[in-house]
Amino acid sequence: MVEYRHVTVPVRGGKFQVQMVEGGTGDNLIFLHGEDGATEWTPFLDLLAQHFHVYAPAHPGQGGSNGLQYLDDLWDLVIFYEELMQELGIDQVHAVGHSYGGLLAAELASHRPEKVSRLVLINSLGLWLDDAPIADFFILTAEERAKMFWFDAGCEAAKAAFAKPSDPEEKMESDLSRTETLAAVGKFIWPIPDKGLTKRIHRITMPTLLLWGDSDGMVPMNYGQAFKDLLPNSSLKVIEKAGHLPQDERPSAVVDAMLPFLRG
């Protein structure tokens, strides 16, 4: 396992305190997590950190990162991420985003294409297809999530994701943390995760890899193809036997797909 650390990064003179896990050496890589919540040091990040300097911040209002009240819309949030990169002293980065984090990574790449050397979108939000509506993930029950998010809801990673603390107080706090995460996501994309990326996506000219779990019940494969159609410099790779969270369900397969692309 690669050595990693929890760090708190002040942004905008300390108005924001960003909680982040960080580890590894190599080119800079930022991972933006999805609506499933802020990321601990997962096997996926650990595999990446064997090749890259990995930064995985928690979005404002989630996982202990504060300052959500200073952000009113997606534009504010994208600017915030640009400032976080400045704060970290990163001039160029590989941006990797999952789902809601993919939407943010794509927006950041459209806003400041020169800052993103390569872009990886994993089962990403950002587009909307009327004939394949994305599930209303704000109201999914645990059972529905198990079914939609995992190819094999019985795998160890899935079981860990759905494990509930037995202590009532801890369970309450865990539920509240999930609500807090969804509230913070909802602030920017409620009720439909379409914020007009198609008007800006032509600015994403850097090499882009689209990775898609083939059994995603939330953002189905159609969206991978739709991104590919809009991004001339992209390739789409299907991760078999994975749902909405391929980086958790099949971390090695995802990293194996990413490495040749990021090193290319």
Partner 1 sequence: MKLSMFHLMPYQDLPADFETQHRSAWVDLPNENFNPELGRQYYNDYLDELEHADTLGFDGVCVNEHHSNAYGLMPSPNIMAATLARNTKDAALIVLGNSLSLYQPPIRVAEEMAMLDIMSGGRLVAGFPVGTSMDTTFSYGQVPAQLRERHTEAHDLIIKAWTEREPFIFNGKYNKLRYVNVWPRPLQQPHPPVWVPGSGSLETWDWVLDRNYVYCYLSYFGYQRGNRVVQGFWERAAERGMDDNPHRLGFLQLVCVSETDESAQEEYEEHVKYFYQKMLRIYAPFAESPGYRSIHSIRESLRPQLGQETMKAASELNWKDFVEQGHIIAGSPATVRDRMEEAIKLLRVGHLMCLLHIGTMPKELTFKNMNLFSKEVMPGLKNIYQEYDDPWWPQGVGEQAIPTAAD
Q: Which tokens go with 206?
A: 């850097």
What minimum distance in Å lies between the beta carbon of 37 and partner 1? 12
Q: Which position among 40, 176, 203, 232 is part of the footprint of partner 1 (CB under 8 A)?
A: 176
CA atoms within 13 A on the CB side of 186: 11
Q: Tell me if 184 contacts partner 1 by CB under 8 A.
A: yes
Identify residues 96-115 at the interface with partner 1 (CB under 8 A): none
Q: Tell me if 162 contacts partner 1 by CB under 8 A.
A: no
Q: How far apart are the first and last CA of the chain?
A: 25
Nearest to 233 by CA among 189, 194, 264: 264
Taking the C-alpha atoms of residue 232 and residue 5, their distance in angstroms, rounded to an integer, is 37
Taking the C-alpha atoms of residue 83 and residue 115, their distance in angstroms, rounded to an integer, is 12
Q: Which position among 38, 108, 121, 182 is part of the footprint of partner 1 (CB under 8 A)?
A: 182
Q: Which position among 87, 180, 194, 214 is part of the footprint of partner 1 (CB under 8 A)?
A: 180
Taking the C-alpha atoms of residue 44 and residue 71, their distance in angstroms, rounded to an integer, is 29
Identify residues 53-72 at the interface with partner 1 (CB under 8 A): 68, 72
Taking the C-alpha atoms of residue 56 and residue 208, their distance in angstroms, rounded to an integer, is 19
Which of 113, 186 has the CB closer to partner 1? 186
Q: Tell me if 170 contacts partner 1 by CB under 8 A.
A: no
Taking the C-alpha atoms of residue 104 and residue 142, their distance in angstroms, rounded to an integer, is 25
Q: Which position among 15, 190, 203, 240 is part of the footprint of partner 1 (CB under 8 A)?
A: 190
Which of 44, 100 has the CB closer to partner 1? 100
The binding site for partner 1 (CB under 8 A) comprises: 68, 72, 138-141, 168-169, 172, 176, 179-187, 190-192
